[in-house]
Amino acid sequence: MVSSDSRRPRIGITTYLEPTIWGVWERDASLLPRVYLDAVAAAGGVPLLLPPVGTDPAVLDILDGLIIAGGCDVDPGSYGAAAHPETVDTRPGRDEHEAILIRAALDQDVPLLAICRGLQMLNVTLGGTLQQHLPDAVGHDEHRPSPAVFGQTDVKVEPDTLTGKLFGDRTTVHCYHHQAIAVVAPGLQVTARAGDGTVEAAEVAGHDFALGVQWHPEEDPEDLRLFTALVAASTRRTTP
């Protein structure tokens, strides 16, 4: 990869493909909440959108880092399960798109940050499974209190991990999810859990920066630790 000391790292971010209304138009569009873009830019990176159309892992040749963004439920067919009644609005095409990019990023050791659904996709791509409706397992809905309302989750972090270096032994995070990791994939190390046992962070062994979090760090503009660490890792990769 051609690099320049003055070039800011290019961070690809996966996007939604959804029916969208703007102005007089109502069409399918690639979209992403602006908070992701602001977080990457504030951390020193250049955000580039990766729609789930025309997927080609060669796009990583022009990227320095990759974010797998949050979104809808993962299709349970991708890990050999029947759909739970609460598993709705899946996007198998997006699942396939993100799985291709995740595998390519890990193969090329491109710094990878997987957020919420992104952590779930990381686990499924590596051979794990998901708890499709978390309240069935933990007996409460505090991880997704109500539509469009983020919960607050206290997280215990494992020492001597990248997650631990960034957050210490405990942190409080913004969460909004009703699915979570069930069977942990081979090669994925759990590095943080909520008090109810829910996996809140995991890292891929043998990689400089391959980290997934179940929470939404982009929702806290005052805490850019994850994005700053991703940009720093991406910068190291581009520096001769």
Catalytic position from the list 98, 116, 175, 177: 116
Q: Are 218 and 176 in contact (CB under 8 A)?
A: no
Q: Is 175 a catalytic residue?
A: no
DSSP 46-61: EEEEE-SSS--GGGGG
Q: Is 216 a catalytic residue?
A: yes
Tokens of residue 80, six digits: 């050999």
Q: How many CB atoms lie within 10 A of CB 159?
A: 10
Q: Is 218 a catalytic residue?
A: yes
Helix (H, G, I), strand (E, B) or coil at 127: coil
Q: Are 77 and 92 in contact (CB under 8 A)?
A: yes
- Phi-psi domain of 136 (left: phi exceeds 0; alpha: psi -120 through 50; beta: other): alpha
Tokens of residue 47, six digits: 């955000």
Distance between CA atoms of 213 and 199, rounded to whole angstroms? 9
CA of 82: how far to CAs of 41, 76, 118, 184, 217, in Å? Answer: 40, 6, 21, 18, 31
Q: Are 210 and 203 in contact (CB under 8 A)?
A: yes
Residues catalogued as catalytic: 116, 216, 218
